[in-house]
A and B are shown apart, each in its own frame.
Chain A
Amino acid sequence: MALSRLSSRSTTLLQPLATTSLLRRRHISTDTTPITVETSLPFTSHLISPPSRAVETSSQELLSFFRDMALMRRMEIAADSLYKAKLIRGFCHLYDGQEAVAIGMEAAITKRDAIITSYRDHCTFLGRGGGLFEAFSELMGRTTGCSKGKGGSMHFYKKDASFYGGHGIVGAQAPLGCGLAFAQKYSKEEAVTFTLYGDGAANQGQLFEALNIAALWDLPAVLVCENNHYGMGTAEWRSAKSPAYFKRGDYVPGLKVDGMDALAVKQACKFAKEHALKNGPIGSNHHAFAFVFEQILEMDTYRYHGHSMSDPGSTYRTRDEISGVRQVRDPIDRVRKLIIAHDIATEKELKDMEKEVRKEVDAAVAQAKESPIPEPSELFSNIYVKGFGAESFGADRKELRATLP
């Protein structure tokens, strides 16, 4: 019985050993003995040898994957109903289907590594340690939101967890991400920046500018293309001459990852981080063309909802396609099967976990609904920063003169 947990096997071959279930101990949340799982698909690489398909994980990690992804899924579904109830207004871009990218990435990095992403940021915010209550409050425009209700769905940030948002303009976060990596190199932090963008943003000029800069100055940047195959309503084959986004870096190594497999994502991100932090194969003596710190990770993923809540998501793709992906590649189901196969928890326990998660989300929604809306004076706060390093009035001439220290 103990051997079945430790040996590495493909998940499709493993059968639950029902007869020994009564004798087996539960490993929920406490067991960190390593389990090795193979990713469902091999990595495709460009200019670099891909990492191994065998990923080391543990029951604790798998269970946390399941719980966190279930939480994210539930949050997005709740946001969907809130939007339809007109409590969330404007644009609301949902991440369900893509949870594995956020979760896998978090498992491979620390809070000192920076993440910057686009407007589809609710789950990334959660992954970085953001709270459900803050998220829902922000979506509903309340003061208790993570950006005090002034940012909205597209502007979630969490500075203490190095989560830099949250950006509405497609592709504009790529140069910002380079800036974060530049600052990490400048301050000599042993940290990496993950700059996420979509297949739509991959055609932006500023992305190639950012790529060039990051490769030129050896910035510890990892560019992650979350390829959900649709740039709003335009499929990737209709907008990109070369949809092999991981190869578009040309001189920058790339890796194509199954973005619906949280463990594959974890492996790829770990690999990319190590690669970005290395100082060169032999000391720091590396030739410009031989070694590039930067990497492009293309996450082959899928979103079940439309581009945003105003997009039904079915005019440019068939419902069969959506349900097909949901049946075969759903990230939560994949982890569920893994957990059951490795006898970490039973179906019922997982279902209970999902029920718990649902209750948590409902409670957060209820609490957020009760939160206050911002005061009128909040309209003018945080436009300028008060407190300067010089003798000056302040932008509205209301402050007393502050003197130089």
Chain B
Amino acid sequence: MAAIIHGAGAGAATALTTFHSKKLVARSRTNLPGRSKRCIVAAGSDDGSKSFGSSSSLSLRHSHKLIPNNAVATKADTSATTGHELLLFEALQEGLEEEMDRDPHVCVMGEDVGHYGGSYKVTKGLADKFGDLRVLDTPICENAFTGMGIGAAMTGLRPVIEGMNMGFLLLAFNQISNNCGMLHYTSGGQFTIPVVIRGPGGVGRQLGAEHSQRLESYFQSIPGIQMVACSTPYNAKGLMKAAIRSENPVILFEHVLLYNLKEKIPDEEYICNLEEAEMVRPGEHITILTYSRMRYHVMQAAKTLVNKGYDPEVIDIRSLKPFDLYTIGNSVKKTHRVLIVEECMRTGGIGASLTAAINENFHDYLDAPVMCLSSQDVPTPYAGTLEEWTVVQPAQIVTAVEQLCQ
């Protein structure tokens, strides 16, 4: 019986004594039916020549089965046929706009979010609709405007703070760590900080070392914040809405190369659970845990793996802090093998923490050591080929699975 220790919320101390594995099983009955509604799975493009990272769109095809074993499972979702198609950045914008319509306390602040429309067009048109005070163009002072958002949140506003590139938020690290994460605790619960800090990060197309940073590993130790990473238009909109509604500070990690993904999303209002992982492809042989852009590299590798006769279970963990050890745990108990594929650096990355968490909690269920594929511990080089080698590629994922499944 493995006690889940990761919870950092209230009652975790009592959780150590009262948590039973029975509860784990009992929950699954109530949860899965509810959750399947939420899972829209993006079907991979069957055109092998399209490489990931190109600006071509990724379309959702439910009935199209080119791979006999159904390499990417598509959960039947009736709402998808009546939805509307859009790109990921449009989905983010839609979510943001809906929340701003719904609650006058929601405001956006960041560099070039207003009149320019956002450097990645996520806030396009919002300044015209809501005015300059609600969609605030800030000067280039990350420390100050992040602090400003946090101060405003202390009084009850719900700012969405945009870092033009996640890497720039390093300048605001003090504000995020000390004020954002800790004020609820050090004030004895008097203040809540319902901010959303969002921005694109990750390795792009030859953007250079300083603009290709992955900050999830730096922020993950900060107590009091939640971190989520979106990967599809569906979960981008859902996570954006949930993050805005959450009373906790949430850091929403977007990826520079995923903004032009296309998907059909439901017309009706929906929200994604902030602490829940997404089952991308159920399987039996091995659990592959991933998030953000690496999800697509994994799905590409999954096609090759299926052809070779493997049946990988792919989970997009989405919630980087706290980990959804419930979903992950159930998967580990089923497959007994874990491969983590991430874009973070090897040292001190999300994968490192996840490996530790899985080893601590599910050691008895593992048939093989947890393997973690991460980016190299190097500044991202400018040269295209070098940059490709920094990041995990599908071929490496295939090799790793073959190795683990021996």
> A-side interface residues toward B, CB under 8 Å?
114, 116, 145-152, 155, 157-159, 164-169, 172, 174-180, 182-187, 205-206, 209-210, 212-213, 216-217, 376-377, 379-398, 401, 404
Additional pairs, 20, CB under 8 Å, beyond known A150-B185, A169-B174, A395-B322: A146-B188, A147-B188, A149-B188, A157-B188, A172-B174, A172-B179, A183-B151, A183-B157, A186-B152, A187-B157, A210-B144, A210-B148, A213-B145, A382-B184, A385-B247, A392-B246, A395-B7, A397-B4, A397-B325, A398-B7
Tell me whether B368 is interfacial, beta carbon within 8 Å: no
The answer to whether B245 and A393 have CB atoms under 8 Å apart is: no
Question: B242 and A392: CB pair below 8 A?
Answer: yes
List of A residues within 8 angstroms of B152 by Cβ: 179-180, 182-183, 186
For residue B246, which residues in chain A have a CB less than 8 angstroms away from its CB? 385, 388-390, 392
Do the beta carbons of A395 and B9 come within 8 Å of each other? Answer: yes
* Residues from chain A with Cβ under 8 Å of B134 in the complex: 186
Number of cross-chain contacts by CB at 8 Å:
224
Q: Is the CB of B147 within 8 A of A176?
A: yes
Q: B141 near A396 (CB under 8 angstroms)?
A: no
Partner of A175, one of B133, B151, B183, B226: B151
A379–B148 alpha-carbon span in the complex (Å): 28
Q: Point out residues on B near A: beta carbons under 8 Å.
A: 4, 7-15, 34, 107, 133-134, 136, 138-139, 141, 143-157, 174-175, 178-179, 183-192, 223-224, 226, 241-242, 245-248, 271, 273-276, 322, 324-326
Contacts of A155 in B (CB 8 A): 186-187
Q: How far is the CB of A8 from chain B (nearest CB, A)?
A: 40
- Judging by beta carbons under 8 Å apart, are A206 and B144 in contact? yes
Contacts of B324 in A (CB 8 A): 397
Q: Which residue of B lies closest to A147 (CB)?
A: B188
Residue of A nearest to B133 (CB): A186
Selected contact of A151 from candidates B4, B156, B188, B325, CB within 8 Å: B188
Evaluate whether A175 and B143 lie within 8 angstroms (CB atoms) in the complex, with A380-B13, A385-B248, A387-B247 already known: yes
Known contacts A155-B187, A175-B175, A176-B150: does B224 contact A388 (CB below 8 Å)? no
Verify A213–B187 contact, CB threshold 8 A.
no
Contact between A213 and B175 (Cβ–Cβ < 8 Å)?
A: no
Q: Is the interface of A mostly helix, strand, loop or mixed?
A: loop
Please determine whether A179 and B273 come into contact, CB atoms closer than 8 angstroms.
no
A213 x B139 contact (CB < 8 A): yes
Task: Give Cα distance in the complex from A190 to B34, angstroms.
Answer: 47
In the complex formed, the residue of A with least CB distance to B19 is A398
A175→B13 contact, CB < 8 A:
no
Chain B residues positioned under 8 Å from A386 (CB to CB): 9-10
14 contacts between A and B (CB under 8 A): A149-B188, A164-B191, A165-B187, A166-B186, A175-B144, A176-B154, A179-B149, A184-B155, A185-B133, A187-B155, A213-B141, A390-B242, A396-B11, A396-B12
Q: Would B138 and A397 count as touching, CB distance under 8 A?
A: no
Name the CB-closest residue of A to B274.
A392
- Contact assessment for A182 and B151 in the assembled complex, using a CB-CB cutoff below 8 Å: yes
B13-A205 in contact (CB<8A) = no
Assess whether B150 is in contact with A382, with CB atoms less than 8 Å apart: no
Residue of A nearest to B275 (CB): A393
The distance from the CB of B336 to the nearest CB of chain A, in whole angstroms, is 22
Using A178-B148, A404-B271 as known contacts, say yes or no to A148 and B188 having CB atoms under 8 A apart.
Answer: yes
| Residue contact A397 to B7, C-beta cutoff 8 Å | yes
